[in-house]
Amino acid sequence: MSKKETGADAGTDAGREEAGFNRRNYLKSAALGVAGAGAALAMPTIAKAQNRTFRLKLQSNFTGIGIDSQDRATKQFIDRVQRMSGGRIEITNFNAEVLLGIGETFRGVGSGVADLAVTASIYHRGIVPIGEYLWGVPFFPVTHLEFYEHIYQNMGIKEIWQEAYRPHNVAHLTYMISDEWGAMVSTKPVTKFADFRGMKVRAFGIWADWLAHNGASIVTVPGGEVYTAIQTRILEAAAFGSPDAWAGMKMHEVAKFYINPSVLPYDLTEVIANLRTLNSMPADLQEVLTSASRVFNAELAAMTIATDARGRKRLADGGMQTIMLPDAELVQAAEWCWNRFLGTRGRVPFADKVIDIYTEARQLYKDYYGPKRLPA
């Protein structure tokens, strides 16, 4: 650090600007110089952090497996962080399952194996149980980015996420709205939920509970392995990705039916960071990571409109048939899933707060979007 940066010359320069450089001015400037030098000595850690280049490892659970929007948006995020930080943050992305498996990601970030991750809180529900419900409650109407933005920023969900992760040395930087989750691929036609009886299905959370309630056998398989699991008959149906994901994974080769609609119109994923690493950064670089993550969110949500539309066409061209479940089936499923969620009150840490927020938000959704709905 130069003398000018430490302030050691500041007082002297000020003194020379006086009409006469007398003893009083000299003593004053000398005193300021000593004080400046002392201040510099008192801030070595801050100075070191300001000048340091942070080289971070990012584990994405969703890149490298054929999801075009995730691959592109992640690259844009990494490039943006480098630009915004003036090169002081360099991020290396590791594709799904490379550095950490999906089930290892949360602990791996907390322990420092990875510094950052793009993941989903459902994957660490065994560590932070509320993560399941922050990720999604089936049929909860997250259909618009601005709607969830209000819930997250203004109704207290962001603070719950942060508080729940802090004891694990994990910082929650932002939620991310990717695209639909729960529009299932299947090897058999499904026109009602009872058709899942006896089928081996990949699903998570309350949605898995509902399918099991209808007689399905739930099988846990990483998302990137769904193709092989269906091909080898470990699975007969799966909820994991969007049309973009399924098309990128060439799922039409092994599953001929697409069961619509998605039970989660938007999949709530997230960007997390090692808390100690984040706190070791100067405030401006912490803000770079947070702000760039939030732009990442918006870009990904926008990108999926085109990639999913293109994905649906690719699946149809590959011979996949779309089946729409009837409204009566969906209404019954939505009521069952909501009541299942309400049953977590008093049993899961933070659940009471999330239930109260989601209940208020459901009513807000009806009050705001109901009158705005255009005729189909």
pLDDT of 353 > 90? The answer is: yes
pLDDT digits (tens, 9 = 90+) for 186-219: 999 999 999 999 999 999 899 999 999 999 999 9
Instruction: Please state, in angstroms and as integers, the Cα–Cα distance from residue 254 to each residue in 21, 118, 177, 262, 349, following that order.
Output: 87, 28, 28, 20, 40
Give the number of other CB atoms < 10 A from CB of residue 220: 9
Query: Which whole number is the average pLDDT over 176-185?
Result: 88
Query: What band does 47 get if pLDDT is binned at 50, 70 and 90?
Result: low
Domains of the chain: residue spans and CATH: 3-42 (no CATH), 49-178+268-307 (3.40.190.170), 184-265+309-349 (3.40.190.170)
pLDDT of 11 > 80? The answer is: no
Query: What band does 374 get if pLDDT is binned at 50, 70 and 90?
Result: confident
pLDDT of residue 72: 96
Query: Which whole number is the average pLDDT over 176-195?
Result: 93
Buried (b) or exposed (e) across 281-308, using 16+ Cβ within 10 A? bbeebbebbeebbbbbbebbbebbeebb
Query: Which whole number is the average pLDDT over 36-62?
Result: 71
Euclidean distance between the first and the last CA atom of the chain, given in angstroms as a whole number: 65
How far is residue 201's CA from residue 348's CA, in Å, rounded to a whole number? 26
Query: What band does 46 get if pLDDT is binned at 50, 70 and 90?
Result: low
For 347, half-sphere exposure in the C-beta direction (CA atoms, 13 angstrom radius) is 7
How far is residue 298's CA from residue 223's CA, in Å, rounded to a whole number? 23
Query: What are 203's two structure tokens?
Result: 């699903």
pLDDT digits (tens, 9 = 90+) for 107-116: 999 999 999 9
pLDDT of 25 > 90? The answer is: no
Query: What band does 14 get if pLDDT is binned at 50, 70 and 90?
Result: very low
At residue 299, φ and ψ (nearest 5 deg) are: -65, -40
User: At 14, which amino acid appears?
Assistant: A
At residue 325, φ and ψ (nearest 5 deg) are: -70, 145
pLDDT of residue 178: 84
pLDDT of residue 7: 39
pLDDT of 174 > 50? The answer is: yes
Q: What angle is formed at CA 148 by the lines to CA 222 and CA 95, rounded to 5 degrees?
A: 30
Q: What is the mean pLDDT of the chain?
A: 89
Query: Tokens 């870009």 label which residue?
Result: 299
pLDDT of residue 96: 94
pLDDT of 321 > 90? The answer is: yes
Please say whether the beta carbons of 324 and 260 come within 8 A: yes
pLDDT digits (tens, 9 = 90+) for 53-65: 999 999 999 999 8
pLDDT of residue 181: 84
pLDDT digits (tens, 9 = 90+) for 270-319: 999 999 999 999 999 999 999 999 999 999 999 999 999 999 999 999 99
pLDDT digits (tens, 9 = 90+) for 285-299: 999 999 999 999 999
pLDDT digits (tens, 9 = 90+) for 144-170: 999 999 999 999 999 999 999 999 999
Q: SS3 string of the chain? A: CCHHHHCCCHHHHHHHCCCCCCHHHHHHHHHHHHHHHHHHHHCHHHHHHHHCCEEEEEEECCCCCCCHHHHHHHHHHHHHHHHHCCCCEEEEEECCCCCCCHHHHHHHHHHCCCCEEEECHHHHCCCCCCHHHHHCCCCCCCCCHHHHHHHHHHCCHHHHHHHHHHHHCEEEEEEEECCCECCEEECCCCCCHHHHCCCEEECCHHHHHHHHHCCCEECCCCHHHHHHHHHCCCCCEECCCCHHHHHHCCHHHCCCEEEECCCECCCEEEEEEEHHHHHCCCHHHHHHHHHHHHHHHHHHHHHHHHHHHHHHHHHHHCCCEEEECCHHHHHHHHHHHHHHHHCCCCCCCCHHHHHHHHHHHHHHHHHHHCCCCCCC
pLDDT digits (tens, 9 = 90+) for 78-89: 999 999 999 999
